[in-house]
Structures are given as structure tokens and as C-alpha cells.
Structure 1
């Protein structure tokens, strides 16, 4: 598992980016600021659709912070 890879946490069913790998633990990050840790065995690579979903979440979050959404 590499830092920066887009993955899906199978437990929460959320798309996120790998921020850090520490042994069997992986720290995940979403553009909304949510960070959490899970075991690497509980994540899978994101599909292209899920990757686009993560990008859209980031755009929406930035718009909301600027008061445009």
C-alpha cells in the first residue's frame, strides 16, 4: 500500500487517500478533514468511479467553505 493511493475502507464504505502506512495499520484521509486508522486488510483499491467521487467530495467541501454551495 502506497501513500497517496485512493482506497475504500470496507468497514465504513468510505473512499479516502492513504496518508501513512504503519505496519499493519493505514491512516486514511478525506478532503473534508476526516482522518482515521484501519488495518490494511480492511481496505481495497478504489475504482475509477470511486476516485472521481473523492475528487467531487473535495470540490464540494471547498465550495461550502467559501460559502458557494
Structure 2
């Protein structure tokens, strides 16, 4: 489920929750925890934003030169 974290001001995927905390992640690999009450379901616009972040990140990874 795609959610919006009001504390950090970011759209993220809800990975899991335990008690009052949720684990969130973004397509870029960023992971963090937030309080459950600061997270709400993402709007349609925010869901599109989340997909665009993932697409941009994948494109940037393709453009990186191979590691030696």
C-alpha cells in the first residue's frame, strides 16, 4: 500500500507495522519507521508520484557506469 508520511513529507510503501510504528520504504532504497498516526493512505496524485520516483530511479541506475 502506498502511503503519505506527514512527518517526513514523503510518499512511501508501507512494508509492515508493529504496534504504533510502521516500516516504510521508497523505490530508491530509503527505509525508515514512523508512527502509525502520522501516516495516511496516499491520494491518486501521490500514488502517481511514487510510481514516477521508481521509474526515475530505475532509469538513473541504467545510466550509471559499471563498477570496477
TM-score, normalisation: structure 1: 0.89
Match of residue 10, structure 2, among 9, 14, 20: 14
Instruction: Write out the 4+ residue segments of structure 1 that deviate beyond 2 Å after TM superposition.
Output: none
Q: How does 1:1-69 map to 2 (within 5 A)?
A: 5-67=1-63
C-alpha root-mean-square deviation of aligned residues, in Å?
Answer: 1.0
Task: Give the deviation of 1:31 after TM superposition.
Answer: 0.2
- In structure 1, stretches of 5+ residues that fail to align are none
Where 2:11 maps in the other structure, the secondary structure is: strand
CA shift digits 1:9-63 (9 cap, x unpaired): 0011100010111111000010000000001001111000100000000000000
How many residues align? The count is 64
| Larger-gyration structure (1/2) | 2
Where 1:31 maps in the other structure, the secondary structure is: coil
TM-score, normalisation: structure 2: 0.90
